[in-house]
Amino acid sequence: MVILGLKFFMLNLIFLLFAATLDRSGLIKRIMDLGVKKGGRVGFHILLSTIFILSPLYLFPVFLYRLPNVSKRINKERTGLTLLMAAVMLGSILLPFGNQRNLFFSTYFITMREGFSPLRELVPHIWPYWFLLLAFLNLVAYLLRVEVQDNLVKLEKVRYQEHILSGIALFFIFPLAMGKLNFL
């Protein structure tokens, strides 16, 4: 059990480093601003889809920090914020590395079952549900006529040093997730 705890701790550290460097680089804010800059319903659909697709990678606390600034630019603020929060939560719940519980179960199965790979064995079964949920969220946003009102956004400069650091963290995430990298 000590080995399981250490592996879980290392995977958490790597993911938090990855999330922190991507947030610090300004990439998340830039992607959200591009959706807002597009404006209208298309801008909201871009924003919703981007948040849903990227939420498992960023472990969703980063998005929780960014969402209130974006929600002020949406015509139906509560409805839009609810849809964005649903996108963050549903996107991070489905994949094996989207939240702490799934991260622990993946670490547990990698440790207890030799040769088990969450990416190889779980993700192919999850993709259809993931895309179905993405289509459903966009359909609900379309039916509720949620759109982005403000399209005048100044884009921030992206810091490339943090992208390099997050790439290094990502380099360790995939082998660890496949069960091929062992720190002990």
Q: Within a domain: residue 173? A: no
Query: What is the CB-side half-sphere exposure of residue 158 using CA atoms within 13 A?
Result: 11
**Residue 3 within any structural domain of the chain:** no
What SS3 class is residue 60?
A: coil
Average pLDDT of every residue of the chain: 71
Q: What is the distance between the alpha carbons of residues 28 and 16, in angstroms, rounded to a whole number?
A: 15
Cα–Cα distance measured from residue 170 to residue 148, given in angstroms and rounded to the nearest whole number: 32
Helix axes 61-71, 77-94, angle to 10 degrees: 160
Q: What torsion, rounded to 10 degrees, do the Cα atoms 114, 115, 120, 124 define? A: -60
| Domain assignment present for 166 | no
Indicate the number of domains in the chain: 1
Tokens of 46: 């871009």
Task: Tell me the residue ranges of DSSP E strands in the chain.
Answer: none
Q: Report percent pLDDT > 70 for the chain.
A: 47
Give me the residues of the chain with pLDDT under 70, please: 1-4, 28, 35-36, 56-73, 95-101, 103-120, 150-163, 165-166, 169-170, 172-184
Q: Tens digits of per-residue pLDDT, 119-155?
A: 667 777 777 888 888 888 888 888 888 777 765 445 4
Please report whether residue 7 resides in a domain. no
Look at residue 78 in the predicted model and tell me its pLDDT. Answer: 75
Q: Is 131 inside a domain boundary?
A: yes
**183 part of a folded domain:** no
The residue segments making up the domain with residue 61 are 26-148
- The answer to whether residue 169 is domain-embedded is no
Residue 10 covered by a domain: no
